[in-house]
Structures are given as C-alpha cells and as structure tokens.
Amino acid sequence: MDTKDKFIIDTILEKFTDMKDPTLMILQNIQEILGCVREEYLTYVAESNGYSLTELYGIVSFYPQFRLSPPGKHTIKICKGTACHVRGGAAIQKNLQNLLGIKPGDTTEDGVFTLESVRCLGCCGLSPVIMIDNETYGRVKTSKLQEILVKYKGVSANENQ
C-alpha cells in the first residue's frame, strides 16, 4: 500500500476516534474516498486499530455495497425488476455477460466495465432497462448491446475476451 493511501486511511481513522463503534463508517469512508476496500486496506485498519481482520472481512463480505477491488471506469447496471424480467431482462444480462466475459459483481480485465445486477432502476415503463454510469437505456434489445458498449469503450467489446 502506498503512503498516500496510508495517509488517507489514517485521516479517516482519526476522524472517528471518539465514536463508540465506528467500524462500518470507517469502511464506508475508505470506499468512498479510495473506490474500494482492498484487502491491504483491511489489514492496515486491523493492525492500526486493533480490529480483527476476520471481523472486518466479515463486514465487507456481508454488505453488498462494499467492493474488494476497484470498479471499472463505467458501471453497467442491469435491472432485475419484474417488468424488466418479463420483457427479456435475463437475455440482456446473459448477452452482456457473454460480450464482456464477466458476471455481475465483476470488472473486465481492462478495467473498463463493471457489471451489476440491481433490483429495480425505477423505469418500468421502459423495460428492459440498463444503466451505464448515469445514462439510462430503455427498451434494450440484445442486438443493440454491442453498439451501446462501443460508445463507452471505443472498440468492439468482443476484443475483451
């Protein structure tokens, strides 16, 4: 771990010294600032504050909001709500997984895309829906996914495999 990351984590730890049980808030702050909660960050927090590494790992593996590795440059969210499911959401997910070579929760090897499966994006009238970063794509067809991905990557998504 580099000295910059150590400094950031030390600053976060210092911020919460007066709280009774700041563990969750410490981990949330680390992820917010550093983008994820790497294993080396957990080890450093455990060693610096006397926390159990097992306890810290248990927290980050229990809560789905935590990431152990950095997210990709672009995050693709696939809606798994009822309307999207009924209108072909599963096929959209399967096709995206094949195009990117990853499953939900993973990031492509080149660090361009992270794929997430979410319960509902709140756009049921446009189902099936995906969201890339903050841009929503409604009535998505599997035949259009490659074209959508190229906008973000600049090259064919199949080159990722």
- Whether residue 128 is preceded by a cis peptide bond, meaning omega within 30 degrees of 0, is yes
Token code pair at residue 99? 């195009």
CB 132 within 8 A of CB 147: no
In terms of Cα–Cα distance, which of 61, 82, 58, 155 is closest to 113?
155
In terms of Cα–Cα distance, which of 83, 61, 99, 67 is closest to 139?
83
Query: pLDDT tens digits for 84-131?
Result: 999 999 999 999 999 999 999 899 999 999 999 999 999 999 999 999
Q: Please tell me the predicted confidence (pLDDT) of residue 65.
A: 87
In terms of Cα–Cα distance, which of 88, 107, 110 is closest to 97?
107
CA distances 77 to 29, 106, 157, Å, are: 23, 12, 16
Looking at CATH, the fold of the domain delimited by 74-160 is given as: Glutaredoxin (3.40.30)
Q: Going edge to edge, which strands form the sheet with 130-132?
A: 113-118, 74-79, 130-132, 135-137
> CB neighbours of 60 closer than 8 A, spacing ≥ 6?
27, 37, 42, 66, 68
Domain ranges for the chain, please list them.
3-62, 74-160
Predicted TM-score (pTM) of this structure: 0.74
φ/ψ (deg, to 5) at 79: -75, 130
| Calpha distance 8→16 (Å, rounded) | 13
pLDDT band at 159 (very low <50, low <70, confident <90, very high): very low
Query: pLDDT tens digits for 58-75?
Result: 999 999 889 998 999 999
